[in-house]
Amino acid sequence: MPLLLPSSLYTLARPFLFGFDPEHAHELTLDALARTQNTPLACAYAAPRVDDRLALAGLHFPNRVGLAAGLDKNARCIDAFAAMGFGFVEVGTVTPKAQPGNPKPRMFRLPQRDALINRLGFNNEGLDAFLANVQRARFRRNGARAPMLLGLNIGKNAATPIERAVDDYLICLDGVYPHADYVTINISSPNTANLRSLQSDEALDALLGAIADKRAALAHRHGKRVPLFVKIAPDLEEPQVQVIAATLRRHGMDGVIATNTTLSREAVAGLPHAQEAGGLSGAPVREASNRVIGQLRSALGTGFPIIGVGGVLSGRDAEAKIAAGADLVQIYTGLIYKGPALVREAAQALRRRGR
């Protein structure tokens, strides 16, 4: 019975939540999760974690399905997502200082295509509040044999000029390093001016060079080497993907997360909200994400970890990401449309599929 609860409850909750403005519904949900995690009420969304262990990037993933960044920007609900059965949870993007993000409304549903458009702009409470929340999380203390892993996703403040972006990433890396199983360098949000320019050859080379140096110093200071993943956009041509792949390898990055949201509106043309500015996620980004994953795999060869994200709304979508070349998958928009039952569905599909 507990296995059935998350899906049936979400079927009831969804029309209620979709009656609110998307960002308000999001806040209501996060408030409820924050209040109920680590209480008996968590059984409303808890599910046993599918056991499908995988060693990758020096880490032991309990299964191959993760929560994508941006859903829990301030790391308030880590234990709730641990209870849903994710193998790994990525929180953030965090920036050094708190910032409000873009004016509202800034998040839109396109239910005809299981999609969202957002231009939140890294609204978050800043590094100190984020770290306090991370330290409060209890999931590491539950004694599980294959514990969930925690990824901390870092970015830059909107007010920091792009030429000084590296400073913000280094400040964040310094803060999150001791608390992370892995750190994600997010250079692919479309909602912070010029952020995506950090993906271009020289800027990426300089950024990753500085980050690699900093990691060496932090590894020495903390006595552990924390894997670094870089998150990229779907709106890239193959030659750019190849340059990125070579740059990741050159600077000893441990993995790549592909992809963030897209600026393309081709797949949603004519639908209400399709012309809103921001990043499009969910089913319409799936094909572009899978294309970039395939290009990365060709450029990187086997053995370099790729986390596939973009448009996973079913077990079959998760399998398609692995078929395209990913080792692990992450979910954001699918969780909004399908609810927590999707976590188990995707993890079971990947376990059945094997490697």
Stretch that binds ligand FMN, among 194-202, 292-300, 309-317, 320-328 (CB under 6 A): 309-317
Task: Confirm whether residue 332 is marked as ligand binding.
Answer: yes
Which member of 7, 188, 189, 298 is catalytic? 189
Residue 232, phi then psi, degrees to nearest 5: -120, 170
d(CA 24, CA 340): 19
Decide: 93 and 12 in contact? Cβ < 8 Å. no
Residue 293, phi then psi, degrees to nearest 5: -60, -45
Cα 216 off chain centre by: 24
Based on CB atoms, which residue is closest to ligand FMN, 2 or 272? 272
Residues in region 199-228 near ligand FMN by CB under 6 A = none
| Cα distance from N-terminal residue to C-terminal residue, the chain | 30
Q: Residue 292: count other Cβ atoms within 10 Å of its Cβ.
A: 27
| Least distance between ligand FMN and beta carbon 155 (Å) | 7
| Least distance between ligand FMN and beta carbon 190 (Å) | 10
CA angle, corner 250, sides to 247 and 256, nearest 5?
Answer: 55
Give the amino acid at 342.
L
Sign for the CA dihedral angle at 149, 131, 160, 124 comes to positive
Reading the block at residue 214, the tokens are 């900093």
What would the x/- binding string for ligand FMN be over residues 314 to 343, using CB under 6 A?
A: -----------------xxxx---------
Based on CB atoms, which residue is closest to ligand FMN, 62 or 308? 308
Based on CB atoms, which residue is closest to ligand FMN, 3 or 327? 327
Our answer to whether residue 197 is catalytic in this structure is: no
| Least distance between ligand FMN and beta carbon 194 (Å) | 16
d(CA 326, CA 141): 30
Residues in region 227-286 near ligand FMN by CB under 6 A = 231, 260-261, 281-282, 285
Q: Is 169 in the site for ligand FMN (CB under 6 A)?
A: no
Residues across the chain: 355
Reading the block at residue 106, the tokens are 């800034």
Decide: 326 and 306 in contact? Cβ < 8 Å. yes
Cα 158 to Cα 24, 106, 193, 286, 291: the distances in Å are 23, 16, 7, 28, 30
Residues in region 135-164 near ligand FMN by CB under 6 A = 153
Task: Confirm whether residue 69 is marked as ligand binding.
Answer: yes
- Binds ligand FMN by CB under 6 A, chosen from 80, 107, 166, 324: 107
Stretch that binds ligand FMN, among 5-13, 140-148, 174-182, 310-318 (CB under 6 A): 310-318
Decide: 110 and 116 in contact? Cβ < 8 Å. yes
- Binds ligand FMN by CB under 6 A, chosen from 44, 47, 50, 69: 69
- Binds ligand FMN by CB under 6 A, chosen from 37, 74, 102, 189: 189
Binding residues for ligand FMN, rule: CB under 6 A, are 68-70, 73, 93, 107, 116, 118, 120, 122, 153, 186, 189, 231, 260-261, 281-282, 285, 309-312, 331-334
**Catalytic residue positions?**
189
Binding residues: 69-73, 93, 118-122, 153, 186, 191, 231, 259-261, 282, 311, 332-333
